[in-house]
Amino acid sequence: MKRLALKIDVDTYRGTQRGVPALVELLSRRQAGASFLFSLGPDNTGRAIRRAFRPGFMQKVQRTSVLEHYGLLTLMYGVLLPGPNIGRRCASTLRAVRDAGFEVGVHCWDHVRWQDGVSGADNAWVETEMTRAVERFTQIFGEAPRVHGAAGWQMNRHALRLTQRLGYSISSDGRGTHPFLPVIDGELIACPQLPTTLPTLDELIGVDGITADTVADHLLALTETASGDQVFTLHAELEGMRLLPQFERLLDGWQAQGFSLVSMADLAASLDLKQLPHHEVRFEEIPGRSGKLFVQGPAFPG
């Protein structure tokens, strides 16, 4: 059976409070597996305004109605209002996800800080951010996290090294076509990567005439002809809220296409992780998203 792993990035306080419970209810009703990856520190979403000077960011804002999806209050956090600490305030919500039978893991400590700062950060900066997230996760769940998925698909050499040092079993930090072991600057990283293989809804809406009403059908057309296992990333703030009907349409379509909807761990369990191909790490632009992302490069050695 074909497998499609659902990776749910939870970026904000609002998404944790409102989007996560809605997704848990829907996925439980559909008996679908998924991995919820949490932002565990302060929600400083308002500071993302600095991205206005990044190529492609304003086009994305105009296409995806950021204010509608995130809400005015969220866009004030970290600027006009103090950013609420998600892990501290929402610990019971996070544990309820695990108790409902879903895989839980780490997205980041501070989503905006990571996404805007990691590309040029040194090892000390990265280690502080990643260790804070691991420590908060362990406080909440009573055990260390086993899966990591970087905010904004942003990584660097130090962060990749730390995925293995911090004991992660698998990561889904970038974009690509199939599972692999990453090689950066000639160094092999032992933590397997299960990259996002499909475009996200917010990357598609507003492009080539695709609307919120047609985006699910467009994505289903892609998966109808896709070969191999797939990884789809969704967001609690989008598919868990205003785009929930579109996500439900996707679940219907994927199950009709014969996909088994699974967590990242379930997908990894079907693989021989020690025999995964080695691929170079690249940092490149992705259509519909601003900035350069961690992308699966060519096989190593080529």
Report the mean per-residue pLDDT for the chain.
91
CA distance 156 to 117: 10
3-state helix, strand, coil in the chain (%, to 5): 45, 20, 35
**What does the pLDDT read at residue 61?**
45
Both tokens assigned to 28:
């439980």
pLDDT at 57 over 50: no
pTM for the full model?
0.91
% of the chain beyond a pLDDT of 70: 88
| CA of residue 218 relative to chain centroid, distance | 21
Block residue for tokens 């002809």: 225
pLDDT at 53 over 50: no
Quick one: pLDDT band at residue 71, thresholds 50, 70, 90? Answer: low
Cβ–Cβ under 8 Å, residues 160 and 281:
yes
pLDDT tens for each residue of 19-41: 999 999 999 999 999 999 999 99
How open is the CA angle 8-12-194, to the nearest 5 degrees? 25
136 DSSP 8-state letter: H
Q: What is the mean pLDDT of residues 207-229?
A: 95
**What does the pLDDT read at residue 56?**
47
**What does the pLDDT read at residue 290?**
79
